Structure 1
Amino acid sequence: MSEKKTIAIIGAGIVGVSAAIWLQRDGHDVILIDKAGPGEGTSHGNGGVLASCSIVPVTVPGLLNKAPKMLFDPSQPLFLKWGYVPKLIPWLMRYLKHANATDVERIAAALTPIVGDSLNDHKALAEGTGAEKWIIPSDYLFLYENRKHFEDDAFGWGVRRKHGFTWEELEGQAFHDYDPVFSKDIGFAARLGDHGHITDPGRYVKDLAAYVEVNGGKVIRAAVEDVVRENSKVTGVRAGGETIPCETAIITAGVWSGPLARQLGISVPMESERGYHLELVEPSAMPRSPVMVASGKFVATPMEGRIRLAGIVEFGGLDAPPSRAPYELMRKNARAAFPGVTWKDEVEWMGHRPAPADSIPIVGEVPGIDGAFMGFGHHHIGLTGGPKTGRLLAQMIAGRTPNADVSVYAPSRYKI
């Protein structure tokens, strides 16, 4: 390995904590710094699926025509706070430019090395940490009303097939024999094996962070103001008015990474894709595996003592309070998808997914600054791709050559 370094990691979600573990295994001293503590942000509230097949971005061909209708249809999972529109437009214009087949193929090729083997990436990360208990190997199913409904998504399934994904098609009774919890109105499922889910994402990340501490790492709860440099070389991180000395700093703060990145000369066009979840506590029955219900574009994941529903998209920035309509839509969709299930309580949550305009994460070294790295911008696949991203960062910092073309993630593509 390269010489032992002190490495400050800004953001203690799944990406930051993964980087910390892999860097510790390389012999480095690590400091995790997060304004809320490990696993408190998006890593707490995500859908919990290790969704290796989620390589198809939202920006598929035809989105430009569909989006306006979706915004005015209360049954669709796309919401917008209208007062935010003026601020959103520059990002949205760049985002929608990628809604074509060529860009989708390029994005899918970039995402596959990060998410395509997620279950094994998580197992390798968590081995010996005590967090293994939260990882459950499972199928992942996409549910449709019927075969025609499935065939309407042929473009996305073709992209998955091209990248090596295979699936079993379950129609009618075959699907209900697999999982009788779902409505008879759902008549078709595409079942993908070799996936998995996390039964408590927040506690999983907290357990991984606790392992970092047990092994000599520091966890500091503070907001980071800047990465300190001298002669274009990282010398520390300023947090809470103090400077924490380090030789290397990694920005892994999700959607909050933007201002820090800009201070380092990287201007990422990124928005908060506000995500909601609704947990059904102590349900009378559980889905056998995590599923994506295509009609409502929401995920239902069996977790410890609850079913978590997630998958709404809302654009409205970082500061606005949660909206009521997304929760009501998830509640309505849940009752339609598994009408026989009852539950004792509900938990609502809203958080922020980091959505870069090109749907490709920013991972790598900052050009022109020795010791500055970035790992953020995973859209809705942060949990899925977190362990591999952390490992790639550790390899880059050690000077090893990763077994993937990391140039597609380079921060230099957004150099000011």
Structure 2
Amino acid sequence: MQQHGSERLRIVVIGAGIVGVSTALSLARDGHDVTLVDRSAPGEGTSHGNGGVLASCAVVPVTVPGLPAKAPRMLLDPDSPLFLRWSYLPRLLPWLARYLSHCRAEETARISRALFPIIGNSLEDHQALAAGTPAEHWLAPSDYLYVYRDRAAFAADAFGWNLRRAAGFAWEEIEGDAVAAYDPLLGPENRFAVRLSDHGVIRDPGRYVKDLAAHLETLGGRVLRASIEGFRFDNGRLAGLATDGGPLDCDRAVLATGVWSKDLARQLGISVPLESERGYHLELEEPSGFPRAPAMFASAKFVATPLEGRIRLAGIVEFGGLEAGPAEAPFKLLERQLRKAMPGLSWRSTRQWMGHRPAPADSIPVIGPSPRHGDVLMAFGHHHVGLTGGPRTGRLIADLVSGRRPNIDLAPYSPERFAV
């Protein structure tokens, strides 16, 4: 990819979630002519429905050692956070085989090392991104709490906590009556917790992304509703994009449309083993109280996050593709688990949502220029950490476009690992 210094380029960012909006803002602040394109309005997809936590410590992928042995039992357990649409299994199997091949200690550690540079300073990254914009209103520093039944349950998670320690994270351990003293909403079955400071929360993720996109327009950027159908090249250089509304000229493009990036990446010679890991959230409106901080209930694998006027319960792993609608069982499970975790909590009503996390088989985002067409850069595949890693990803893409040397090694994220 050529160095362009301070040259003003016409850049189209495809995808108006947190990664795309962060990228567009970083590029606009560098002085480029930026158009943000999505078939939906900004912040209405996966970025709307995430857990709302800036989870810098989330450097442990799902694919930990022992998962292949546990997964079949989990699928048969009605209280397990893992779901599968069995009719989708034949289509899922090739991706699933590659995904489970990473459930080895050395692979999990490698993935963890790759995730940390993208998410490890998320609060600071978001503070820099939102500074001077209306989006600042939704951003707040917070603790992040991991809640366990007891110390033995925490000890059983030692592999993941050792990875966090290796990444430089430190924490406070809270035990016994001190757990309820920290947060009175936590029920008596919660006798151990880990408190991580220097994390953050977005109190309305959808509004946050919308406010960032609105700020982009004040910098001269455009927000366009359209579907991208393909790329147009002239003598090997990007000349524009084909959209359902007609051609769109540009000098550079950034592909940042989450799980929907797969088909467009294939047009560029990149075959990413990318699946939708369907996630669910249940919002409790007008609750009788709020958690002191976002709390991850480790055994049930869901997070309860205090948002603006409501609590969001987010979690669940379901494999079933992009077409099927939401199932009712995951919502019921979230509510059932919450009633056990916070038995004294009540609320007026609930609201349901289901969306699609972009899950590459190796759990590492795809960030960097396309090997065949360096004028198109890729920024997708953030799995569970899109909100957390969006600003850092956007800054890295802006560095590449403007000819600056990124201050981290981008080799682990290179699209070239999926070139065909």
Check whether the contact 1:32–1:217 (CA below 8 A) recurs between aligned residues: yes
Structure 2 counterpart of 1:295, one-letter code: S
Aligned counterparts, 1:255-270, within 5 A = 255-270=259-274
- How far the C-alpha of 1:294 sits from its partner, in A, is 0.9
Between the aligned partners of 2:368 and 2:281, the Cα distance in structure 1 is: 31
Contact kept in structure 2, 1:270 and 1:356, CA below 8 Å = yes
TM-score (norm. length: structure 2): 0.98
**Match of residue 287 from structure 1:** 291
Of 213, 221, 224, which aligns to 2:217? 213
- Aligned twin of 1:405: 409
Amino acid at match of 1:293: F
Contact 1:232–1:370 (CA<8 Å) still a contact in 2?
A: no
- What is the CA-CA distance between 1:241 and the residue it aligns to? 4.2
Runs of 4+ in 1 over 4 A off after TM superposition: none
Q: Deviations over 1:176-204 (max 9, x none)?
A: 11101110100000100000010000000
Distance 1:410 1:52 in 2: 22
Post-superposition CA distance 1:105-157 (Å, at most 9, x none): 11011000000000000000001112111011000010000000000000000
Unaligned runs of 5+ in 1: none
Matches within 5 A, 1:178-257: 178-257=182-261
- CA shift, 1:371, in A, is 1.0
Q: Is the CA contact (8 Å cut-off) linking 1:21 and 1:212 kept in structure 2?
A: yes
Identity over the aligned pairs, expressed in percent? Answer: 60
Counterpart of 1:150 (choices 151, 154, 159) is 154
1:92 to 2:103 alignment: no
Q: Within 1, Cα distance between the matches of 2:225 and 2:191?
A: 49
Structure 1 distance, partners of 2:208, 2:290, is 21
- Matched-pair contact (CA < 8 Å) for 2:268–2:372: no
In 1, Cα distance between the equivalents of 2:13 and 2:406? 20
Aligned with 1:271 (options 270, 275, 279): 275
How far is the alpha carbon of 1:2 from its aligned partner? 2.7
> Match for 1:200: what amino acid?
D
After alignment, is 9-18 or 236-245 more displaced?
236-245
Kept in 1, the 8 Å contact 2:179–2:186? The answer is no
The runs of 5 or more residues in structure 2 that have no matched partner are none
Q: CA deviation at 1:295?
A: 1.8
SS in 2 for 1:311: strand
User: Which residue pairs with 2:174 in the alignment?
Assistant: 170
Report SS of the residue matched to 2:134: coil
Contact 1:59–1:104 under 8 Å retained in 2: yes
Q: TM-score w.r.t. structure 1 length?
A: 0.99
Structure 1 segment 112-131 matched on structure 2, within 5 A: 112-131=116-135
Number of equivalenced pairs: 416
The CA distance in 2 between the partners of 1:280 and 1:298, in whole Å, is: 14
CA distance in 1, matches of 2:378, 2:231: 12
- Which one of the candidate residues 351, 362, 370 is aligned to 2:355? 351
In the alignment, the residues of structure 1 paired with residue 290 and residue 196 of structure 2 have an alpha-carbon distance, to the nearest angstrom, of: 19
Equivalent position to 1:306, from 298, 310, 313: 310
2:87 is matched with 83
Q: Does 1:73 align with 2:71?
A: no
Contact preservation (8 Å) 2:304, 2:313: yes
Give the 3-state SS of the residue equivalent to 1:27 in structure 2.
Answer: coil
Contact 1:34 1:220 in 2 (8 A): yes
Q: Which residue of 1 aligns with 2:136?
A: 132
For residue 261 of structure 1, what is the amino acid of its counterpart?
Answer: A
Partners of 1:259 and 1:229 in 2: CA distance: 17
Query: Aligned equivalents of 1:48 and 1:60: distance in 2?
Result: 24
Provide the residue aligned with 1:393 in structure 2. 397
Match for residue 385 of structure 2? 381
Using the TM superposition, give the Cα deviation of residue 406 of structure 1 relative to its aligned residue in structure 2, in angstroms. Answer: 0.6
Which residue identity does 1:26 align to in structure 2?
A: D
Aligned mates of 1:281, 1:227 — CA distance in 2: 44
CA contact (8 A) 1:280 1:346 kept: yes
**What amino acid is the match of 1:208?**
L
Tell me how far apart the structure 1 counterparts of residues 245 and 269 of structure 2 sit (CA, whole Å): 22
CA-to-aligned-CA distance 1:25-59 (integer Å, 9 cap, x gap):
11001000001110010000000000000000000
